[in-house]
Structure 1
Amino acid sequence: MLEMKPLRAIVLVLVVVVGQYASLASAAGPKVIIVGAGMSGISAGKRMAEVGITDFVILEATDRIGGRIHKTKFAGVNVEMGANWVEGVNGDEMNPIWTMANGTGGLNLRTFRSDFDNLARNTYKQEGGLYEEKLVEKIIKRTDEVEESGSKLAGTLHHSGQQDMSVMAMQRLNDHMPNGPSTPVDMVVDYYQHDFEFAEPPRVTSLQNTQPLPTFDNFGDDVYFVGDQRGFESVVYHVARQYLKTDSKSGNIVDPRLKLNTVVREINYFPSGVTVGTEDNKVYRADYVIVSASLGVLQTGLIRFKPQLPSWKIVSIYQFDMAVYTKIFLKFPKRFWPEGPGTEFFLYASERRGYYPVWQQFEKQYPGSDMLLVTVTDDESRRIEQQPDNQTMAEAVEVLRKMFPGKDVPEATEILVPRWWSNRFFKGSFSNWPIGVNRYEYDLIRAPVGRVYFTGEHTSEKYNGYVHGAYLAGIDSADILIKCAKKKMCKYNVKGKHD
């Protein structure tokens, strides 16, 4: 009897394990689990389907696909809460998102080239009225000269990133406002040039990784605003429908492999496979998992990894910034702002940097909508997300009344404030380029840990922060997994930082 005790203990353990996965006993389970149905997760799924890996399941926390590309109805029209522009068009290389949105992809979305050339004549003083155009032109011209000098300097720095510096440090080297921009007009031009693109100020943004910026260097300097009522997310659906089952009448995705409202809370990985536990107490088993959750989510405790991720992986995740970019839409009973050519964008120069700074009117995109958009970022985004919308509306209207003192500026009737930072499934808008990183750090953040693979815009070395970065990252990460699953080439080599 004594000799049977160890065997009995093993049987008890097996019973516990089998009980834990009883729901899986009758099925082999999918070969791959994709966590997240944003652009990178959907892109990764398409790439795997192309090589015959179709035994997968996509677990999406929200009730839709698209992630941070999401339209919503506001003031009678569909507007974009997240990504809104195809950035990098009309260059030597074709931006793959532009191909899908407005090229050979066949979607033919309504897009509008954004013209920022007239900001000098559309910059408003803190207490109202316009700055003299020549003054603002002079500031913009000097800023452009410093940027060009910064690009040349960036090209001379060692590729390891160890000589990298902040954009602000470069500005100081060029004797460009050595103590930082100080006057309201200096600050708003600086904000437009940097924060409006990267969602964080120059003091935390890498020079080497952003000047010149690969998106514009490779794909072209133009940016196009997506104003289509089908939404920018139709690009994600376009990718998804190429491999997920779709209802022929409605066009809705009805593939049982896509599971919406399924919140992943735990990923267990072993030498032989993975199990993924969800908030509704279901467990999925697979050979591999590819995690496309945002960088912001990876920096929180939403998804627990067991065993804990190795320290090199955790450090790489925490080394990057998750920025916050907030597009606030306001509906008015009538128009009181300038319209016509050269008035689409206008700036508000406050002594408080980043206070309701960049405005846009929509006479072309949403005719007759009587709607304005104001963009805030970073600390202002976090502040605004935590206050009631009626307070934000009052602040924005007060700014407009200061800008247009001679106009009858009515109360806004509706407001839309996206809350990407507060949302536990996103925790921000997109990643920003940190100081001192290079290909090595991107290799680390993209690198698999055992059978756990990672993708997302934050894993794209050249295009992080952009929709095309998310799309291309999905393909790249899927290829790393395919190499292992199909060719048994599972070793992922990370070259040294100085190699």
Structure 2
Amino acid sequence: MEKKDMEIMKKAMAFEAIMLMLIIFIGGAMAKSPSVIIVGAGMSGISAAKTLSDAGITDLTILEATGRIGGRMYKVPFAGLQVEKGANWVEGVGGKELNPMWKMAQELHLRNFESNYDNISANCYKENGGLYEEKVVNDALEIVAKVDKSGEKLSSSLPSSGFEDISLLTMQRLMKHVPTDPVSMVTDYYTYDYEFAEPPRVTSMQNTVPLSTFTNFGDKLHFVADQRGYESLVHHLAHQFLKSDKHGNFVDPRLILNQVVRRISYSASEVTVTTEDGKVYKADYVMVSVSIGVLQTNLIKFAPPLPDKKIIAMYQFDMSVYTKIFLKFNSTFWPTGDGTEFFLYASERRGYYPIWQHLETEFPGSHVLLVTVTDEESRRIEQQSDNDTKKEAMEVLRKMFGENIPNATDILVPKWWSDRFYKGSFSNWPIGVNRYEFDHMRAPIGRVYFTGEHTSEHYNGYVHGAYLAGIDSANIMIRCIKNGFCKFSIKAKNA
């Protein structure tokens, strides 16, 4: 081969090499961001989606089983009002740190009222009528407070791993206090069950005493009574990255409602999500934001099955049931004015229609009462007719206020436990679940990531926990996608 031909060939090869490098460079520069499917459009799912979008991961598909976004933040019409079927309070206000939900509520000018329980000791009714002396109830509340304070010291002395954790009931026994009479039982219920929706015998001491929400964000609670609903906070987040029309309705094709996810298949290279109506969605990653209650059922099947350690950890966590029953009357027969909003019914049957609230402050002239039940009573009530529930509630009210009070004209009984898309109200950290198992519960499995209020280490069970968990889970995924840090660290059992 002549020298001239050699030079031509070298130039051609050089040109091909340059073109190849250019193709590789352009291909890399033009490569689309990873695709992510998010299962569930509640607070944690939307929070995770926004975090991913803010990081440039915008190829998202949000699959929501219902016809709305918001999850367990859910306003519904009742007797001419919009009331909160689910989450109702911004809990944790006025402390050293700013609760992100309170910040958002303030920005949206969400109508709310601070709940003042200071006078509840003057509003505790006997089982068969009449009020207890205020001192009797105050003494019972002071005992609970002292036991709780002693529990804080004990809690701080235990290993952070949680392997020496005890239940709240065990804590009470150590402090020589086990509630048995109606007053001590209802004040105990008011202190613990009203907050965690499960009794002290199952609730972890180390993860509730002290309670991070109140320690960090403050001990004030604000009742949301805005006709836009508490769910407007979820909408506010979603509007920041999803397209909507001039009326505020979401028109972004990435948000797909009424898609019930039944199967999540995953491999080393992709995930496939199949819905109840047979639709199939493929992506690089999936973020599962359904409740821990749903994960404990067979609604969603994983292929291959999740590892045993993860399944065991998920099954150990509790999905509690917290039921707010609304009753409408044609007139008001209960005390109103300062210091009367909350009142207790001290029954021999612990947890039987125990905590009441009138809504004359939030909705003047509405003549609406709210009574809260939890756990076993919630499950029992969900299985009977609303008419039977109304009869029971009226019997209790007649014992408190006399036989001549009017009947309720309307009743609203939320049924979170019976709903296959929720299977309860919020998670509760039970005795026996330590940090090791909790980490397994929230750990990603390959390309499958998990979020939800139940994955919030310090704020599980709260709206702000759901919001912060969404951010945290999304950041774990982002670190894997962008930096290659895909290993989720789980400390040793006794660390």
TM above 0.5, yes or no, is yes
Corresponding residue to 2:61 among 57, 61, 64: 57
Q: Percent identity?
A: 66
What is the match of residue 70 of structure 1?
74
Map residues 81-480 of structure 1 onto 2, 5 A cutoff: 81-102=85-106, 106-177=107-178, 181-247=179-245, 249-405=246-402, 408-480=404-476
| Structure 2 CA distance for aligned equivalents of residues 114 and 382 of structure 1 | 27
Letter of the 2:36 partner, please give it: V
Greater mean deviation of Cα atoms: 160-169 or 317-326: 160-169
8 Å CA contact 1:442–1:460 kept in 2: the answer is: no
CA contact (8 A) 1:40 1:455 kept: yes
> Residue 22 of structure 2 aligns with which residue?
none
- Matched to 2:411, the amino acid is I
Query: Which secondary structure does the structure 1 equivalent of 2:351 belong to?
Result: coil
Residue 34 of structure 2 contacts residue 57 of structure 2 at CA under 8 Å; is this kept in 1?
Answer: no
Are 1:29 and 1:286, in contact at CA under 8 Å, matched by a contact in 2?
no
> Could you give the per-residue CA deviations for residues 307-355 of structure 1, whole angstroms, max 9, x where no partner exists?
0101011011001000000000000111000000000000001111100
Amino acid at match of 1:424: R
SS class of match (2:436): helix
SS of 1:194 mapped into structure 2: helix
| Equivalent-residue separation in structure 2 for 1:261 and 1:30 (angstroms) | 24
Give the structure 2 partner of residue 47 of structure 1.
Answer: 51
27, 34, 41: which one pairs with 1:37?
Answer: 41
- TM-score, normalised to structure 2, is 0.92
Shift of 1:439: 3.0
Partner of 1:21: none
Q: How many residues align?
A: 464
Q: CA deviation at 1:490?
A: 1.3
Residue identity matched to 2:399:
K
- For the aligned residue pairs, the C-alpha RMSD in angstroms reads 1.1
| Larger Rg belongs to | 2
Q: Is contact 2:72-2:87 (8 Å) kept?
A: yes
Measure how far apart 1:202 and its partner are: 0.3
Per-residue CA deviations over 1:191-240 (Å, capped at 9, x if unaligned) read 00000000000000011110000000000010100011110000000111
- Supply the distance in 2 between the matched residues of 1:250 and 1:58 (Cα, whole angstroms): 21
Q: Say if 1:109 and 1:228, in contact at 8 Å, map to a contact too.
A: yes
Whole-Å separation in 2 of the counterparts to 1:29 and 1:392: 53
Q: In structure 1, how many angstroms separate the alpha carbons of the residues matched to 2:473 and 2:319?
A: 20
| Distance in 2 between residues matched to 1:305 and 1:334, nearest whole Å | 53
Tell me the distance in 1 between the aligned counterparts of 2:300 and 2:33.
21
Instruction: Structure 2 unaligned segments of length 5 or more: list them.
Output: 1-31
User: 1:29 deviation in Å?
Assistant: 11
TM-score of the pair, normalised by structure 1: 0.92
Moved segments of 4+, more than 2 Å: 436-442
Secondary structure class of the residue paired with 2:399: helix
Give secondary structure in 2 for the equivalent of 1:266: strand
What one-letter code is carried by the residue in structure 1 that aligns with 2:136?
L
Q: Which moved more, 1:385-394 or 1:182-191?
A: 182-191
- Shift of residue 492, structure 1, vs aligned partner: 1.4
Distance 2:34 2:70 in 1: 22
| Local SS of the residue matching 1:265 | strand
Letter in 2 for 1:490: C
Residue 330 of structure 1 contacts residue 372 of structure 1 at CA under 8 Å; is this kept in 2? Answer: yes
Deviation at 1:364, TM superposition (A): 1.1
Cα offset, 1:442, TM superposition: 2.5
2: CA distance, partners of 1:52 / 1:461: 27
Q: CA deviation at 1:466?
A: 0.1
Secondary structure of residue in 2 paired with 1:115: coil
Residue type of the partner of 1:306? A
> Would the aligned equivalents of 2:33 and 2:58 in 1 still touch at CA under 8 Å?
no
Whole-angstrom CA distance in 2 between matches of 1:326 and 1:425:
16
